[in-house]
Structure formats: C-alpha cells, structure tokens
Amino acid sequence: MKYSDEYDIMKGMISKIGEHNKAKHHLKKLIRENDESTRNEIVVTDDSKFGDGTLSSQKQNIINGLNSNVNFEEDALIYYPNEKDLTFSGEINDMSNLRFQFRLNDPSGNGCYIWVTGLQLTDDNLKKVSLIKNLFLNWKDYWVKNSKLLYSFGEESN
C-alpha cells in the first residue's frame, strides 16, 4: 500500500469520526448510563483506597506519551463494579480538543475511541492518533495485569 493510500484511509476514518460528533458537549459515556447494571459507578481518585497515586499515574502516562497538554475532568477514571469495567477519558488541547475514551472491557475488544471536530490531518496529528491507540493498548495491558487492584475498587464501596 502506498503512503498516499494510507493517508487517504486515515483521512476518511477521522472524517467519519468527526461526522458522528459535531460538538463535544454531545459526548456521552459509551457505557449506557441508564442501564441498571451500570448505575453503580466509582470515580477513581488518588485516594489511598485506590492505590498510591493511581489517577495521577494514569494521567501522567498519557501526558508523557503524547507530549501534549491534556485536560482531565474529575471523573476521568471510572470503575463500574457490576460490569467489572473501567473507562478513562480526557481531552487533548493541541489536537482541536480531541476527546478520547478508553474502555477496558469493550464488547468489541477494542475500547479505544476518539471524538474530534475539525482536526487538520497533518503528519504530526496522524502520529498522535496512532500514539493514542498504543497508549490504549498499554493502559489495557496494565489493568489486565493489575485486575486484582481494579476489582478491589468495588470492594471498597460496599
């Protein structure tokens, strides 16, 4: 496959993503919020009951990996004990405020999502989109290996 073909494919993919989300205020969690099995959510913080600096280390991995300014809301890392699922989300300022969300136990097996409006398809941005995918794989691998810690979050709420 030629470089221009890969570029056109990536351009088309990002264009489709943008079509699905015209504005970030329409962004909803991928886990159905009205589903009775997911109403019990736990916002993971740096509190010692979640491990030593759990939220900060997750954020820092993304910031360092992208070498970008990333904003995270207070509920950036949420554990759903009934589904034994975890989501992590943020917004990358220098990529047209691109929002990402990682979902650990996504039914597709690939829980890496992005939303963006009007992102210019530069080589740098295409590399960062690829980096987001790699950061997701590292994030998922970390939590699979540390599932005992993850599942203990639900025990703390009981």
**pLDDT digits over 34-56, tens only?**
454 445 899 999 998 898 899 99
| Chain segment 67-91, per-residue pLDDT in tens | 989 999 999 999 999 998 999 999 9
Q: What are the residues whose beta carbons fall under 8 Å from the beta carbon of 120, sequence distance 6 or more?
A: 96
Three-class SS state of 49: helix
- Report whether 61 contacts 138 (CB < 8 A): yes
The pTM (predicted TM-score) of the whole model is 0.74
For 4-16, what is the mean pLDDT? 70
Specify the range with the lowest mean pLDDT, choosing from 7-16, 27-36, 90-99, 139-148: 27-36
| Residue among 32, 25, 7, 22 at smallest CA distance from 125 | 7
The three-point CA angle 100-10-70 to 5° equals 25
Give the tokens for residue 138: 């590292």
Residue 13 pLDDT greater than 80, yes or no: no
**pLDDT computed for residue 18 by the predictor:** 63
